Structure 1
Amino acid sequence: MPGLTHALLAQRGHLLLWVPVCLGVGIGVYFSLPAEPSAVHWLVLALAAACAAALASHAGEAAAPLVWALVLVAVGVALGGWRSHQVSAPVLGFRYYGPVEGRIVAIDRSASDAVRLTLDRVRLDRVSPARRPERVRVSLHGDQRWLTPAPGQRIAMTAHLGPPNGPVEPGGFDFQRHAWFDRLGAVGYTRTPALLLAPANPDDLTLRLFVWRMALAQAIRDRVAGQPGAVAAAILTGDRSAINGTVTETLRAANTSHLLAISGLHMGLLTGTVFTALRFLIALWPWLALRAPAKKIAAAGALGAGAGYLLLSGGSVSTERAFVMVAVMLSAVLLERRAISLRAVALAAILVLLRRPEELMGPGFQMSFAATTALVAVFEGVRHRREAQARARSIAGLAPPRRWPRGTGWIAGTILSSLVAGLATAPFAAAQFNRVADYGLIANLASVPVMGALVMPAGVLAAVLAPLGLAEIGLAPMAWGLRWILWVAQQVSGLDGAVSTVAAPGPWVMPVLSLSALFLMLWQGHGRWGGVAGIALAALLWTQSERPLLLIADDGALAGILTAEGRALTKARGSSFAAGIWLENDGDPTAQAQAAARAGWTGPPEDRRAVVAGLPVRVMSGRGQAARLGGRCGPGLLVTSVEITPPPAGPCRLLDPPARRATGALAVDGQGRLITARAQQGARPWVP
């Protein structure tokens, strides 16, 4: 096939771009396996990869990259398995209520806006060290006036703890997997006061940096009042604990919530500001400017500033990812290579996947690299087109094209970058959060330039002047910019139709979409346009995705059936987290109370009945369930909130608490098949 051989040979010089793609495919394969590979499986994989690597040297020039691609996929599978076993830690296997002691290592807020503490060096009453979780996370409710949480404090409380919950529906977000890689072995809450046992005594560098970071965040909030101060602290230190839920939701509805997370935008703006400032200062000294490599000195200084920002902000995963990307680009400047290129993005992705392969499954990695890859690919395409046009005009003896007025290039670049980044991240945001900010482009066009031209430079100035006690000189203009950004978010989020909801895609949609978009951007030659067909196929698959006809929560307290009006729930209050996720995944913005008022269920609230795809379903709650059954049940599913002993006689399938502990959440699809969350998760280390 000479055509295929020619197409493969055309990729020479661009093969590095495909290394993270192949690694990502392998990591994705590992996380989609139905069971954890055994030692025999790993041995077979290693032998197969070794044989393929040996064969690659004897394959033709066109075929060798295909063989190496298979080797890299195998390496990706191995990376996922290695990381999974590296982070292994005990997970609490039962519901616990009693004394909890631990050291505060993280402070944030829960979805209900409660202060939430992550503790290590945990002690639980009558739990042996071998079964004791390495970390637990507790939300503080009730009167907590006796404690002002600070990093390094050792505290005690009486709390309800349990193992991390599984997906709220089969195939949904797997919090158990997320907690496993965070070494989070238990989660819970307390309604009694948390008490201080010992003051902060940071005995390691990470905790000392955390103490310093929280002190700095508080100092910023003391100087900048209100939510602008909370946002300033989040941008400069990564501490988002003072941002209230209203502001978070407003920014999310305007598609500007990415301005809160320390990510590639912030790291790029910070290092760009430092790089430009250092080059400007060197240029002011002619003797130094003529003798020193100003560009390399500025790049080294910006790299140091980025590393300091990484440490100051707590070294979160998103910040690490941003620093790796910036470090690769600045290192390219030091080595006199093109700083912003798809090679730099590929190297950054490789480093992130080697260090934290589980990041591939998270929205942060997907949206960050989707935006960066698309931006670099588009702007490289624009640059190549301009160079080609300039060469053609030069050969034809034509004069250079007329220049646009000064400043129009910057405006056009801002509009184009916002449009490209928004289009690149929109499918991932819709798939992960089931919502699309319809006016997000407007909000970003009004906010991102202010962030780049005012907020981040002012933040750098504040950091430089802080040792002199003059931080307010930088914080004041920073606050002006943040007030503008919050005002824009409030206005845009308040527009009619500001947010549209979409149904969750099927399991194949995002892999097909991602690989097709990468093929479109990375493949060399006209064959790249085949990626457009793949994107269209993914869009078609998304429109054909079907939601389950019946959903049952893992605790049996809530069930919902899909009707012509939308999902009808069994109750208007309680189990609000599961209800919200179900409705979001349906693309239904209805509140739980309204969904519970829909027709679909019959019978009183404590004994709801329906027929789903020909399958009778009965959901019972409250007291006296066994008495109401009378020892017998009819055909179909019987869901009870308490254990029924002895089980009722009859052809029903009983889904009481012991049964649901083995199944997790349940669903019934359009063909009447019963699907369990446990079956979808598979037999993996993070699944009980």
Structure 2
Amino acid sequence: MPGEDHAGRRWGRDLGCIYPRGRGEGKVAELLPQPEGQAPRIGLRAAFLGLEAARGRLLPLGFGLFASGIALWFGLEHEPGAGHYLGAVALAALGLLAAWRLPDPWKLAGPGLSLLALGFLITGLRAHLVAAPVIGWRYYGAIEGRVSEIDRSASDALRLTLEDPVLERMGPEETPRRIRISLSGARLWHDPRPGERVMLTGHLARPEEPAAPGGFDFRRMAFFDGLGAVGYSPNPVLLLEPAASGEAWIGRLRLWLSAGIRASIGGEAGAFAAGAMTGDRSGISRATIEALRDSSLAHILAISGMNLAFLTSFLFGLIRGGIACWPRLALRVNAKKIAALIALPVAFFYLLLSGANVATERAFVMAAVLLLAVLLDRRALSLRPVALAGFLILIWRPESLVQPGFQMSMAATLALTGGFQALDGLLQRGRLPRLVLPVFALIASSLIGGLATAPYAAAHFSRFADYGLLANLLTVPAMGVLIMPMGVLAFLLAPFGLAFVPLWLMGLGAEWILFVAAWVAAMEGAVIGIAAPHWLALPLISLGGLWLICWPGRARLAGAGLILAGLICWPLAGRPDLLIAADGRLAGLRGAGLLGAGELALSSPRGSAFAAADWLERDGDLTPPAEAALRPGFSGTKAAREFSFAGLRGVMLQGEAGLAQLSQACARYDLVVLAARARAAPVRCPLLDQRLLSRTGALAFYREGGGIRLRQALRPRIWSGRPEAIPWPDLPFLAAPPDQ
């Protein structure tokens, strides 16, 4: 009947799905049998119609639930115990039982519960499998190990990662499996290469804890990377054994290709081209990296998924086009399948050559799914390969979820896939002229990708590149036409002595990208600081974006509501009023602002440089630490810096002169911070010394109501390596000390 058809279509539209004529009322009748003459009622079974319309897009939503389980594991303040894991196993079993026994639509919740619990369980398993010895003290002495990776540190020093190290006075059971050491001095005797066994003398310590509660946790990242110690050496490197045949061959090949590119393309352009092609960034200066970052072009250098996509698509098109140019062959073979068959192992080889970072792994899985679909005559241009790539990466390395590279890569890929599916009608049905299509696709991809990654870049790096869209529009074509394709052609033409032509074109592309990066980064207001968000902001934005992309029809607008809620939550994060660095050498005091929290003043222009930069960045403050130290808030000598906080008097003591004033400071001040281990202190002294701070990490004090709340950076998690509890000093202004 016409009325029933109208009711079925209207109901389906309200739920986010519109069935074709004759199909909608059949689904309604099948799922919700109603007395004759009555319109269907919206209930729980009605939601099943929305899920039916979303069939084919449920895999990305399942990926979101799996990732939520991983995020829950990382978000716990304390290490989960047996009860947590038993609860997760029970939840997974309950989900499977619901999927098996319950009727529609209740059964649809079962797989979601199981995926949520599975994410939690896999992360816990991974953490205990990768646990390895971590150095527990400051070490100085001989260091021996096999070079596995060569890169550059944030201070622009050459850095070695050593496997299977040997340290003096340390047995095999307490020696870390991997260490990373920066070469801060002149290397006079040997230039290290991957696979070689080398020896040097240097300083080592355990990886740094967060510079502030809730900040970037390098110790957690090092734990999952297997790094048990980091340090530096001002001494030369000695060669003990050359690389064995077949050992670290991919690393040596990377350096060989990089050296060849830099020999043909001189200067910073050659170093950039080598880094973009091979992942070897050891020749790129810090100034270039900062210019790329401030112009939102750092992803070009990071061997991101875009690089692998450019290389794979160019090779696929080159082989397919070459076969098409030979008519007698083209009529006898399937050019697409031959191109896919050759492009797949090449993509895997490039994955290994580039170092297999998270973004490249995700891009390789997607490219592999796409090429396999070509070989099997299937369609793969959808959200499914994106979700599949995410699943595989998180199953293998669940810690990737909390890394900015994975978050930005997945956000950009999901947004681009969903966005171009929405624009499919405009792009494929001749509504735009052919000459306009490439320009439109470039602008759309840059805009969609930039908007999708902006919240994650702002949250992790506390900055936003205002002209990033302009920089990407000007440089992405050069990357796709002059850098990656010319690199492939140079490799193919090298045996014939003709590689100089594509390498010359590659150099032009590299110089153009570096010119644009420097020009955009030098613009006034090119970078603005953004304060770190509330902990709820990114989860709400992520879930909202996933729902907006995956769910069909009007119901997807609920995702826009979640994104808006995340943006509203962003500025609600509390800013600490007083910060104490983990070594006791630096403090930050927040002044009063017109609208609440004011600027952060530092107690010293030097000392704890990483902590100072991190504190200011998390505030969205781009002021250099030396200038922040000139702000009002601290007074006195270098040995005793006085400050006032919430009506309390405090002092920062440093050096022998500060240590000599400890007894008087305990009697005069409400809070005493000592950048040393106190040998003896008066009873009931409100003292925070390095012995205590080594256990708690950096401390943050918050004004809360009429009292003061204290948070510590180190949490009792498997990667923290916290020593035994140390009695807290008597701090009467605190409601309670932090959790022990």
- Could you tell me how far 1:4 is from its partner in structure 2? 4.8
One of 674, 677, 682 as aligned partner of 2:713:
677
Aligned match of 1:105:
148
Aligned match of 1:606:
639
- Could you tell me how far 1:255 is from its partner in structure 2? 0.6
**Conservation of the 8 A alpha-carbon contact between 1:251 and 1:490:** yes
- Could you tell me how far 1:339 is from its partner in structure 2? 2.8
**Conservation of the 8 A alpha-carbon contact between 1:253 and 1:493:** yes
Q: In structure 2, do the counterparts of structure 1 residues 540 and 144 end up closer, same or farther at CA, with 3 Å as the change threshold? A: same
Aligned match of 2:211:
168
| Structure 1: distance between partners of 2:268 and 2:426 | 45
Amino acid at match of 1:666: L
Note if 1:34 corresponds to 2:83. no
Q: In structure 2, do the counterparts of structure 1 residues 385 and 528 end up closer, same or farther at CA, with 3 Å as the change threshold? A: farther
Aligned match of 2:46:
6
Q: In structure 2, do the counterparts of structure 1 residues 627 and 386 end up closer, same or farther at CA, with 3 Å as the change threshold? A: closer
One of 162, 174, 187 as aligned partner of 1:144:
187
Q: Secondary structure at the match of 2:203?
A: strand
Note if 1:591 corresponds to 2:631. no
| Structure 1: distance between partners of 2:497 and 2:107 | 61
Amino acid at match of 2:638: P
**Conservation of the 8 A alpha-carbon contact between 1:639 and 1:654:** yes
One of 431, 446, 455 as aligned partner of 2:483:
455
**Conservation of the 8 A alpha-carbon contact between 2:61 and 2:547:** no
Note if 1:654 corresponds to 2:697. no
**Conservation of the 8 A alpha-carbon contact between 1:264 and 1:325:** no
Q: Give runs of aligned pairs for residues 175-574 of structure 1, distance below 5 A.
A: 175-201=218-244, 204=247, 207-384=248-425, 404-563=432-591, 564=593, 566-574=599-607
Aligned match of 1:393:
none
| Structure 1: distance between partners of 2:559 and 2:686 | 46
- Could you tell me how far 1:630 is from its partner in structure 2? 2.5
Output the TM-score relative to the length of structure 2.
Answer: 0.88
Amino acid at match of 1:303: L
In the alignment, structure 2 segments of 5+ residues that lack a partner are 1-40, 723-740
**Conservation of the 8 A alpha-carbon contact between 2:279 and 2:354:** yes
**Conservation of the 8 A alpha-carbon contact between 2:540 and 2:562:** yes
Q: Secondary structure at the match of 1:567?
A: strand
**Conservation of the 8 A alpha-carbon contact between 1:35 and 1:684:** no
**Conservation of the 8 A alpha-carbon contact between 1:139 and 1:190:** yes
Aligned match of 2:675:
641
- Could you tell me how far 1:572 is from its partner in structure 2? 1.0
| Structure 2: distance between partners of 1:282 and 1:61 | 52
- Could you tell me how far 1:225 is from its partner in structure 2? 0.6
**Conservation of the 8 A alpha-carbon contact between 1:19 and 1:350:** no
**Conservation of the 8 A alpha-carbon contact between 1:213 and 1:314:** no
**Conservation of the 8 A alpha-carbon contact between 2:94 and 2:114:** no
- Could you tell me how far 1:684 is from its partner in structure 2? 2.3
**Conservation of the 8 A alpha-carbon contact between 2:532 and 2:620:** yes
Output the TM-score relative to the length of structure 1.
Answer: 0.94
- Could you tell me how far 1:19 is from its partner in structure 2? 1.9
- Could you tell me how far 1:3 is from its partner in structure 2? 4.5
May I ask how many residue pairs the two structures share in their alignment? 670
Amino acid at match of 1:662: R
| Structure 2: distance between partners of 1:469 and 1:180 | 46
Question: What do you get for the CA RMSD once the two structures are aligned?
Answer: 1.8
**Conservation of the 8 A alpha-carbon contact between 2:588 and 2:600:** yes
Q: Secondary structure at the match of 2:180?
A: strand
Aligned match of 1:47:
90
| Structure 2: distance between partners of 1:11 and 1:151 | 52
After the TM superposition, which of the residue ranges 295-304 and 217-226 deviates more from structure 2?
Answer: 295-304
Q: Secondary structure at the match of 2:452?
A: helix
- Could you tell me how far 1:615 is from its partner in structure 2? 4.0
| Structure 1: distance between partners of 2:639 and 2:144 | 39
**Conservation of the 8 A alpha-carbon contact between 1:570 and 1:605:** no
**Conservation of the 8 A alpha-carbon contact between 2:320 and 2:335:** yes
After the TM superposition, which of the residue ranges 543-552 and 435-444 deviates more from structure 2?
Answer: 543-552
| Structure 1: distance between partners of 2:474 and 2:663 | 66
The percentage of aligned residue pairs carrying the same residue is 46
- Could you tell me how far 1:512 is from its partner in structure 2? 1.2
Aligned match of 1:69:
112
Q: Secondary structure at the match of 1:227?
A: helix
Q: Deviations over 1:341-400 (max 9, x none)?
A: 11111111111111111111101110001001001111101115778xx7xxxxxxxxxx
| Structure 1: distance between partners of 2:432 and 2:360 | 37
- Could you tell me how far 1:522 is from its partner in structure 2? 1.2
Aligned match of 2:130:
87
| Structure 1: distance between partners of 2:550 and 2:47 | 13
- Could you tell me how far 1:686 is from its partner in structure 2? 4.4
- Could you tell me how far 1:314 is from its partner in structure 2? 3.0
- Could you tell me how far 1:41 is from its partner in structure 2? 3.5
After the TM superposition, which of the residue ranges 560-569 and 181-190 deviates more from structure 2?
Answer: 560-569
Q: Deviations over 1:143-170 (max 9, x none)?
A: 2222212112222221110001110001
- Could you tell me how far 1:457 is from its partner in structure 2? 1.2
Q: Deviations over 1:201-241 (max 9, x none)?
A: 3554xx11111221121111111111111111112211111
Amino acid at match of 2:709: R
- Could you tell me how far 1:404 is from its partner in structure 2? 4.1
After the TM superposition, which of the residue ranges 517-526 and 70-79 deviates more from structure 2?
Answer: 517-526
Q: Deviations over 1:564-587 (max 9, x none)?
A: 461110111222111111111111
Q: Deviations over 1:161-202 (max 9, x none)?
A: 000111000110111110011100000011122222222335
After the TM superposition, which of the residue ranges 525-534 and 585-594 deviates more from structure 2?
Answer: 525-534
After the TM superposition, which of the residue ranges 361-370 and 294-303 deviates more from structure 2?
Answer: 294-303
After the TM superposition, which of the residue ranges 624-633 and 318-327 deviates more from structure 2?
Answer: 624-633
Q: In structure 2, do the counterparts of structure 1 residues 202 and 115 end up closer, same or farther at CA, with 3 Å as the change threshold? A: farther
| Structure 1: distance between partners of 2:497 and 2:217 | 47
**Conservation of the 8 A alpha-carbon contact between 2:61 and 2:546:** no
Amino acid at match of 2:571: T
| Structure 1: distance between partners of 2:403 and 2:176 | 23
| Structure 2: distance between partners of 1:588 and 1:56 | 50
Q: Secondary structure at the match of 2:193?
A: coil
Q: In structure 2, do the counterparts of structure 1 residues 114 and 386 end up closer, same or farther at CA, with 3 Å as the change threshold? A: closer
- Could you tell me how far 1:463 is from its partner in structure 2? 1.4
- Could you tell me how far 1:559 is from its partner in structure 2? 0.6
Q: Secondary structure at the match of 1:116?
A: strand
In the alignment, structure 1 segments of 5+ residues that lack a partner are 391-400
Q: Secondary structure at the match of 1:546?
A: coil
**Conservation of the 8 A alpha-carbon contact between 1:152 and 1:202:** no
| Structure 1: distance between partners of 2:134 and 2:602 | 32
Q: In structure 2, do the counterparts of structure 1 residues 618 and 8 end up closer, same or farther at CA, with 3 Å as the change threshold? A: farther
Amino acid at match of 1:588: D
Q: Deviations over 1:542-567 (max 9, x none)?
A: 12222211111100111111114611
